[in-house]
Amino acid sequence: MSTITTQDGAQIFYKDFGTGQPIVFHHGWPLSADDWDAQLLFFLGQGYRVIAHDRRGHGRSTETADGNEMDTYAADVAALAAHLDLRDAIHVGHSTGGGEVARYVARHGAGRVAKAVLIGAVPPIMVKSAANPGGTPLEVFDGFRTQVALNRAQFYREVPTPFYGFNRDGAKVSQGIMDNWWRQGMMGGAKAQYDCIKAFSETDFTDDLKRIEVPTLVMHGDDDQIVPIADSAMLSSKLLKNGTLKVYKGQPHGMCTTQPEMINADLLAFFRS
């Protein structure tokens, strides 16, 4: 296993394959680097260096009682980028990982980042408030916390259904995909995943998005039941200085897994542009 040790002693697991321009993949909650398997294999075959890490408290990384918030997540990525001496890197984030990408690129990415991609990503901010009337009510996230605390294993059996749009008429349900989601979620620590709910729902990335200058592709399914597109991609794309919005009709939150050929092709076109 390849790991780095952060300033507070947490060990961050990462995969690092190939040579060429580096692509760093940032996973969603409560998953791991394994969620990017279809992308890692594809882009490795295209001649890129592919890197994916397990966020602290997720997958094979250390479960920490503290630091389960976006500033520390981004600092962990910065430590990994410095350790691997990544230059001209492309950072791709899905869901919570999209928030991590926004914060990392805005605060730590100067001189190291060439492009960024936000897929089904949580920015600018998910939770509903007077300043964000189109957001998701706090009570929804409180419900997530309750279920993680009381019966995480059962909750993680239920989430993949809307995550991948398997509750839609005509959907081709994959038991393997749902089982793999559960496997990844249960690898991580309950405390870290509980805390991460606040991190992905209440962190305001507005200023981060405004500070990002590198070309950024915003990809989002218009049938995303986890991160509704109207309060995320539609707003983020307007805040970015050099952003491009691509909307996928009828696609769910987990479209990188359900439609890897389509997503990989569009990512490749953006990387080469």
Return d(Cα 231, Cα 205) in angstroms, integer.
13
Quick one: DSSP state of residue 240?
Answer: -
Query: For 17-69, how does the pLDDT look when each residue is reduced to its tens digit (9 = 90+)?
Result: 999 999 999 999 999 999 999 999 999 999 999 999 999 999 999 999 999 99
The H-or-E segment that residue 132 falls in is none
Which of 32, 95, 201, 236 is flagged as catalytic?
Answer: 95
Compute the residue count for the chain.
273
What digits encode the pLDDT tens for the residues 221-273? 999 999 999 999 999 999 999 999 999 999 999 999 999 999 999 999 999 99
Q: Which candidate in 76, 195, 224, 231 is catalytic?
A: 224
The predicted pLDDT at position 221 comes to: 98
Out of 26, 53, 220, 253, pick the active-site residue: 253
Model confidence, pTM:
0.98
Q: Are 58 and 30 in contact (CB under 8 A)?
A: yes
Pair 162, 254: CB distance under 8 Å: no
Nearest of 36, 79, 38 to residue 56 by alpha carbon = 79
Does pLDDT of 1 surpass 90? no
CB-CB contact of 45 with 264 (8 Å) = no
* Strand-pair category, 216-221 with 89-94: unpaired
- Record the tokens describing residue 107, joined without a space: 């605060």
For 273, counting Cβ atoms within 10 Å of its Cβ (0-12 exposed, 13-18 middle, 19+ buried), the class is exposed
The mean pLDDT value for 181-193 works out to: 98
| Contacts (Cβ under 8 Å, ≥6 apart) of 87 | 22, 111, 112
Whether 95 is catalytic: yes
179 classed as catalytic:
no
Q: Can you tell me the distance from the alpha carbon of 254 to that of 259, in angstroms, rounded to the nearest whole number?
A: 8
- Helix (H) / strand (E) element for 267: namely helix 260-272
Residue 153: is its pLDDT beyond 90? yes
**What are the distances in angstroms from CA 112 to CA 22, 104, 202, 217, 244?**
10, 11, 27, 17, 21
Query: What does the alpha-carbon distance between residue 144 and residue 197 come to, in Å, rounded to a whole number?
Result: 8
Please state, as a whole number, how many other Cβ atoms lie within 10 Å of the Cβ of residue 154. 10
Distance (Å) of CA 104 to CA 44, 60, 63:
23, 21, 21
pLDDT at 264: 98
pLDDT per residue as tens digits for the range 99-114:
999 999 999 999 999 9
Average pLDDT over residues 195-217: 98
Of the candidate CATH numbers 3.40.50.1970, 3.40.50.300, 3.40.50.1820, 3.40.1190.20, the domain formed by 2-272 belongs to: 3.40.50.1820
Domain spans of the chain, in order of start: 2-272
